[in-house]
Amino acid sequence: DTGVSQDPRHKITKRGQNVTFRCDPISEHNRLYWYRQTLGQGPEFLTYFQNEAQLEKSRLLSDRFSAERPKGSFSTLEIQHTEQGDSAMYLCASSLSLAGVQETQYFGPGTRLLVL
């Protein structure tokens, strides 16, 4: 088990372009989370999946953002028509949710996005 991986690690794009990030969770984990972290702040929750179902979305997740987890394994986060305010670190985390047991989230290294 190599932990949570994210790709790419860094992305520079021009305003208005679309970008897509990928997250590969720990293999047996059924929950997958996306967070955004801006400089000097803690991570802010964006959305999470249980298997392939997207169960919760933050108000931070505008219509330009979409996340998928088509087969309940890896996930993608797409940002359309990027804006400079989208510049941030995008973190993915996964966890194993068992009934009655509080889970621990394991974080990936993040994708740092810079929108010029």
Partner 1 sequence: AQSVTQPDIHITVSEGASLELRCNYSYGATPYLFWYVQSPGQGLQLLLKYFSGDTLVQGIKGFEAEFKRSQSSFNLRKPSVHWSDAAEYFCAVEIRGSYIPTFGRGTSLIVHP
Positions in the binding site for partner 1 (CB under 8 A): 4, 31, 40-45, 48, 56, 91, 93, 97, 102-110, 112
The residue whose two tokens read 């994210």 is 6
Q: How far is the CB of 81 from partner 1 (least distance, A)?
A: 27
Q: How far is the CB of 43 from partner 1 (least distance, A)?
A: 5
Beta carbon nearer to partner 1, 55 or 116: 55
40 class by beta-carbon count within 10 Å (0-12 exposed, 13-18 middle, 19+ buried): exposed
Alpha-carbon gap, residue 46 to 34, rounded angstroms: 5
Give the C-alpha distances (Å, rounded to integers) separating 85 from 3, 7, 17, 82.
Answer: 29, 21, 13, 8
The residue whose two tokens read 């990027």 is 82
Amino acid symbol at 106: Y
Beta carbon nearer to partner 1, 30 or 80: 30
Beta carbon nearer to partner 1, 45 or 80: 45
Q: How far is the CB of 21 from partner 1 (least distance, A)?
A: 13
Beta carbon nearer to partner 1, 76 or 109: 109
